[in-house]
């Protein structure tokens, strides 16, 4: 930890996960320092009362509570029962590999957590709650929870076993000093992380803006423009055509061959055969009773998920393969670069247009059928210009990705440093008793 010095003397804690601790510290089971699961919403709760629900998927040891869901009690999951108070620590007892642990600070009065959490409430005369918020997110504690969990696909730990885990306990005033030190240092790290995250967000926005301009306005800023006659496209280069999907593609309906791979279509990656590991792919194939019912798609064809096309679940197939019967395959009938048309549809305006053409009462029931999709209007540059635009998109995407990847690596390193700093402080590997904030 560089500038931080260790304590002068250490003794064996008797706990393998954190080893030696300063001589004047103790190692005590969490259950003698706190209570757990003190309050539960009764079944008699008014079903119309709104709650702020915290599920395991919305919590992480590095980012805390990332989001909550506002829902009436009557419509909430049956596991929405644990009452949460200021200063509590949520520790997931199921799917413990997710490391869903968070300290709760100034929650709304109606915050309710899943019964998949143990809600730890400290005894303030023994364990400072801010210190506990760090101590229970330290690496040693997470590893201890995971190692004591039972089950392969759904590992879990009983709350009573969880609170038997020992934690390092300095005197209360020292706990406060350690918590103050970590508040100060982790806030600095978090500010740096936030700057990198903002950079990534701006880069993604810029990338999207450049691509949207290229696919609807072309690459020549001096090209004469014309009104496309299509609201979502606005003006396009005067030499471009505007035509319907039906004049560019035909629907292909041809069913499976056993020698073809099953392709995935996601809102993030388009069409790929690389999203699944071989083991996952084999399990998926085993669940398919009739592979012949799957649709054949050829490289260069456009594929979309009828239910989620408007969210981005479409793309150009890179290899021959099979897709679910719930997908639509559009086969090019003119000389074109399908990736150009994928890029047009992937603009915000393009996806909104796909949503507009979809049929259904709510977003959850929308379907984009071929009979509607075929009427959607698209811009058509000359084939050579399509190729140039796709090349430009690839260049912009790769350049942006390199910068984003570098920023992502920086974020990962800062998060690792934050985790290591927390673990070092709460296990006494560094002595911060003389710490004073710079502005103190």
pLDDT digits (tens, 9 = 90+) for 8-20: 999 999 999 999 9
The reply to whether 26-169 and 224-380 are identical in fold is yes
pLDDT band at 24 (very low <50, low <70, confident <90, very high): very high
pLDDT confidence of residue 219: 96
What gap in Å lies between CA 153 and CA 318, rounded to an integer?
A: 33
Statement: residue 195 has pLDDT above 80: yes
pLDDT confidence of residue 278: 45
pLDDT digits (tens, 9 = 90+) for 53-68: 999 999 998 889 999 9
- Average pLDDT in the 164-179 region? 96
Q: Which alpha helices (H) appear in 101-171, and where do they start and end?
A: 129-135, 139-147, 159-162
pLDDT confidence of residue 35: 97
In SS3 terms, 230-285 reads as CCCCCEEECCCEEEEHHHCEEECCCECCCCCCECEEECCCEEECCCCCHHHHHHHH
- Average pLDDT in the 350-361 region? 92
Topology of the domain covering 26-169: Adenine-n6-DNA-methyltransferase TaqI; Chain A, domain 2 (3.90.220)
- For residue 316 the two structure tokens come to 């150009």
Residue 192's CB is within 10 A of a number of other CB atoms, namely 15
Statement: residue 440 has pLDDT above 80: no
Statement: residue 269 has pLDDT above 60: yes
Contacts of 239 (CB under 8 A, 6+ apart): 223, 224, 381, 382
Statement: residue 103 has pLDDT above 80: yes
Statement: residue 363 has pLDDT above 60: yes
Its pTM stands at: 0.80
CATH of domain 224-380: 3.90.220.20
What gap in Å lies between CA 272 and CA 291, rounded to an integer?
A: 18
What gap in Å lies between CA 175 and CA 129, rounded to an integer?
A: 9
Statement: residue 283 has pLDDT above 50: no
Q: Bridge partners of 338?
A: none
What gap in Å lies between CA 5 and CA 30, rounded to an integer?
A: 27
pLDDT confidence of residue 153: 82
pLDDT confidence of residue 292: 79
pLDDT digits (tens, 9 = 90+) for 114-153: 999 999 999 999 999 999 999 999 999 999 999 999 988 8
What gap in Å lies between CA 25 and CA 15, rounded to an integer?
A: 13
Statement: residue 277 has pLDDT above 50: no
- For residue 112 the two structure tokens come to 């309710």
Statement: residue 272 has pLDDT above 80: no
Secondary structure letter of residue 182 according to DSSP: H
pLDDT digits (tens, 9 = 90+) for 196-251: 999 999 999 999 999 999 999 999 999 999 999 999 999 999 999 999 999 999 99
- For residue 45 the two structure tokens come to 């709760």
Secondary structure letter of residue 140 according to DSSP: H
Residue 259's CB is within 10 A of a number of other CB atoms, namely 7
Among 101-110, 264-273, 317-326, 376-385, the minimum mean pLDDT is found in: 264-273
What gap in Å lies between CA 56 and CA 71, rounded to an integer?
A: 16
pLDDT confidence of residue 1: 57
pLDDT confidence of residue 261: 87
pLDDT confidence of residue 280: 47
pLDDT confidence of residue 4: 84
Statement: residue 293 has pLDDT above 90: no
What gap in Å lies between CA 105 and CA 87, rounded to an integer?
A: 6
Among 83-97, 127-141, 281-295, 422-436, the minimum mean pLDDT is found in: 281-295
Give percent helix, percent strand, percent coil of the chain, each to the nearest 5: 40, 25, 40
- Average pLDDT in the 84-110 region? 94
What gap in Å lies between CA 136 and CA 132, rounded to an integer?
A: 6
Domain ranges of the chain: 26-169, 170-218+385-440, 224-380
Mean pLDDT of the chain, nearest integer: 91
pLDDT confidence of residue 439: 64
């Amino acid at each position: 930890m560089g500038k931080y010095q260790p304590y002068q003397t250490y003794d064996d804690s008797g706990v393998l996960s954190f080893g030696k601790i300063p001589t004047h510290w103790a190692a005590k089971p969490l259950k003698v320092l706190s209570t757990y699961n003190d309050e539960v919403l009764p079944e008699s709760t008014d079903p119309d009362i709104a709650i702020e629900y915290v599920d395991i998927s919305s919590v992480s040891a590095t980012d805390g509570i990332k989001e909550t869901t506002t829902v009436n009690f009557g419509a909430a999951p049956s596991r929405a029962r644990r009452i949460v108070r200021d200063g509590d620590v949520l520790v997931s007892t199921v799917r413990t590999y997710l490391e869903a642990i968070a300290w709760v600070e100034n929650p709304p009065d109606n915050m309710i957590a899943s019964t998949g959490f143990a809600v730890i409430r400290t005894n303030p005369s023994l364990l400072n709650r801010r210190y506990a918020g760090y101590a229970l997110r330290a690496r040693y504690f997470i590893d201890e929870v995971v190692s004591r969990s039972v089950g392969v696909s759904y590992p879990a730990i009983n709350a009573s076993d969880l609170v038997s885990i020992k934690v390092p306990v300095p005197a209360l005033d020292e706990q406060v000093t350690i918590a103050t030190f970590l508040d100060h240092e982790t806030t600095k790290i978090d500010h740096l992380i936030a700057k990198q995250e903002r950079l990534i967000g701006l880069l993604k926005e810029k990338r999207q803006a450049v691509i949207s301009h290229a696919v609807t306005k072309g690459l020549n800023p001096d090209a004469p423009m014309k009104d496309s006659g299509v609201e979502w496209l606005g003006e396009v280069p005067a030499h471009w055509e505007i035509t319907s999907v039906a004049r560019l593609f035909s629907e292909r309906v041809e069913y499976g061959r056993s020698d073809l791979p099953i392709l995935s279509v996601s809102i993030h990656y388009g069409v790929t055969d690389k999203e699944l590991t071989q083991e996952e792919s084999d399990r998926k194939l085993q669940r398919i009773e009739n592979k012949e019912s799957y649709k054949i798609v050829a490289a260069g064809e456009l594929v979309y998920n009828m239910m989620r096309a408007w969210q981005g679940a479409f793309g150009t197939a890179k290899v021959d393969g099979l897709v679910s019967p719930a997908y639509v395959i559009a086969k090019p009938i003119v000389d074109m670069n399908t990736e150009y048309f994928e890029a047009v549809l992937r603009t915000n305006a393009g996806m909104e247009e796909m949503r507009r053409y979809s049929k259904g009462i709510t977003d959850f029931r929308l379907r984009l059928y071929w009979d509607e999709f075929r009427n959607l209007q698209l811009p058509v540059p000359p084939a050579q210009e399509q190729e140039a635009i796709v090349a430009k998109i690839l260049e912009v995407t790769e350049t942006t990705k390199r910068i984003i990847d570098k920023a992502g690596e920086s974020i990962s390193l800062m998060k690792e440093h934050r985790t290591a700093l927390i673990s070092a402080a709460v296990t006494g590997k560094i002595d911060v008793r003389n710490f004073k904030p710079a502005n103190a």
